[in-house]
Structure 1
Amino acid sequence: KAGGAAWAGLALGDRVAKLSSKAGHGLGEVADRTRAGLESVAKAGKEGIGEAATKLRPAPPEEPAPPPSGLEQLLAREAAEAKPAAPDLPLFAGEPAVAPAPKKTKSGAVAEVDDRSPPPRALAAGPMPHIGGAGMDGGSTRAWLAGGIAAIVLLAAAFWLGGRFGGGLSKGEVETIVADYIQANPQIIPQALEAQRDKEIAKAIDAIRPALEKPYAGAWAGHADGDVTLVVFTDYACGFCRASVPDVDRLIREDKRLKVVFRELPIIAPQSRNAALMALAAARQGRYDAFHHAMFAASSLSPAAIAEAASRAGVVTDGSADATANEVLFQRELDSNLAIASQLQLNATPTWVVGDQLFQGQVGFAALKQAIAKARAKG
Structure 2
Amino acid sequence: MKKLLATVATLATLALPAQAFDVNAMTPAEEEAFGKAVRAYIMQNPSIIVEAYELFQQQQAELEAANDQQLVRQLAPVLFEDGRDWEAGNPEGDIVMVEFLDYRCGYCKKAHEEVKQLIAGDQNIRFIVKEFPILGDESVLASRFAIATRKVAGDDAYGRMNDALMQYRGKMTEKSLKKIADKLDLDGDAILAMIEDPEVTQQIADTHQIASALSISGTPTFVIQDQMLRGYVPLDGMQELIAAMRAEM
Q: 2:180 aligns with which of 283, 305, 309?
A: 309
RMSD: 3.1
Cα distance between partner residues in 2 of 1:270 and 1:70: 49
Following superposition, the deviation at residue 224 of structure 1 comes to 1.2
Structure 2 counterpart SS, 1:279: helix
Following superposition, the deviation at residue 367 of structure 1 comes to 1.2
Structure 1 equivalent of residue 94 of structure 2: 227
Checking the alignment, whether the CA contact within 8 Å between 2:174 and 2:192 is kept in structure 1 is no
Cα distance between partner residues in 2 of 1:278 and 1:184: 50
Equivalent AA in structure 1 for residue 106 of structure 2: G
Structure 2 equivalent of residue 358 of structure 1: 228
Cα offsets for 1:253-307 (capped at 9, x unmatched)? 1100011111001100211111101111223322211000111222321222211
User: Can you give the 5+ residue segments of structure 2 that lack an aligned partner in the other structure?
Assistant: 24-33
Is 1:341 the equivalent of 2:208?
no
Cα offsets for 1:170-196 (capped at 9, x unmatched)? 2348x95xx969536221111111111
Share of identical aligned residues, percent?
22
Decide which moves more: 343-352 or 281-290.
281-290
Checking the alignment, whether the CA contact within 8 Å between 2:80 and 2:128 is kept in structure 1 is yes
In structure 2, relative to structure 1, the CA distance for the partners of 1:377 and 1:365 (3 Å cut) is same
Is 1:209 the equivalent of 2:76?
yes
In structure 2, relative to structure 1, the CA distance for the partners of 1:332 and 1:378 (3 Å cut) is farther
Structure 1 counterpart SS, 2:210: helix
TM-score by length of 1: 0.53
Following superposition, the deviation at residue 325 of structure 1 comes to 6.0
Following superposition, the deviation at residue 356 of structure 1 comes to 2.4
In structure 2, relative to structure 1, the CA distance for the partners of 1:325 and 1:279 (3 Å cut) is closer
Decide which moves more: 366-375 or 179-188.
179-188
User: Can you give the 5+ residue segments of structure 1 that lack an aligned partner in the other structure?
Assistant: 1-67, 73-151
In structure 2, relative to structure 1, the CA distance for the partners of 1:234 and 1:323 (3 Å cut) is farther
Q: 1:332 aligns with which of 202, 207, 213?
A: 202
Structure 1 equivalent of residue 22 of structure 2: 171
Structure 1 equivalent of residue 126 of structure 2: 259
Checking the alignment, whether the CA contact within 8 Å between 2:85 and 2:130 is kept in structure 1 is no
In structure 2, relative to structure 1, the CA distance for the partners of 1:212 and 1:184 (3 Å cut) is closer
Is 1:269 the equivalent of 2:131?
no
Checking the alignment, whether the CA contact within 8 Å between 2:89 and 2:123 is kept in structure 1 is yes
Structure 1 equivalent of residue 4 of structure 2: 71
Checking the alignment, whether the CA contact within 8 Å between 1:232 and 1:262 is kept in structure 2 is yes
Greater share of helix:
2
TM-score by length of 2: 0.78
Aligned counterparts, 1:121-200, within 5 A: 153=7, 167-172=18-23, 182-183=48-49, 185-186=51-52, 187-200=54-67
Checking the alignment, whether the CA contact within 8 Å between 1:215 and 1:261 is kept in structure 2 is no
Q: Number of residues paired by the alignment?
A: 227
Following superposition, the deviation at residue 71 of structure 1 comes to 2.7
Equivalent AA in structure 1 for residue 64 of structure 2: R
Cα distance between partner residues in 2 of 1:210 and 1:373: 24
Higher relative contact order (CA 8 A, sep 6+): 2
In structure 2, relative to structure 1, the CA distance for the partners of 1:239 and 1:70 (3 Å cut) is closer
